[in-house]
Amino acid sequence: MRELQANYEKIKNLNTIILSISVVPQAAAKNLVEYFKLSYPVLCDVDTQTIQKYGVLNAAGNNAVISIFIIDTQGIIRWKQIPETTIPGEQIIQELQKI
């Protein structure tokens, strides 16, 4: 979240929308946005339906694994990463520039 926020303006200037999806309820998502001072929304997927559809539900079935998707305007996934650590914002920007 911090890496995306730190690069928010650069990513936004590439005609891109950032969304975060979490299993937390709406009040907790609001707290995340405030705590991390996010410029992008955290969407709530409490029942994990969307997380399951993207194949990023953890083994326990109660949370999403950290992942980044780049989806084009046609709805096609152009790039997907499930990192063990944070993905540098510059790497995300480079992938966006390829589209």
Average pLDDT for runs of 10 along the chain of length 99: 88 88 93 92 94 93 89 87 83 88
> Would the pTM count as exceeding 0.85?
no
Domain count of the fold of the chain: 1
Cα 66 to Cα 13: distance, rounded to the nearest angstrom = 24
Whether 34 is in a domain gets the answer yes
Domain limits at 89?
2-94
pLDDT at position 53 is 94
Residue 22 in any domain: the answer is yes
Q: Is the residue at 48 inside a domain? A: yes
- Whichever domain contains 31, its CATH number is 3.40.30.10
Tell whether 49 is covered by a domain.
yes
Q: Provide the pLDDT for residue 54.
A: 92
Q: Determine the pLDDT at residue 87.
A: 82
Q: Would you say residue 99 lies in a domain?
A: no
Is 90 within the bounds of a domain? Answer: yes
Per-residue confidence (pLDDT) for residue 15, from 0 to 100: 86
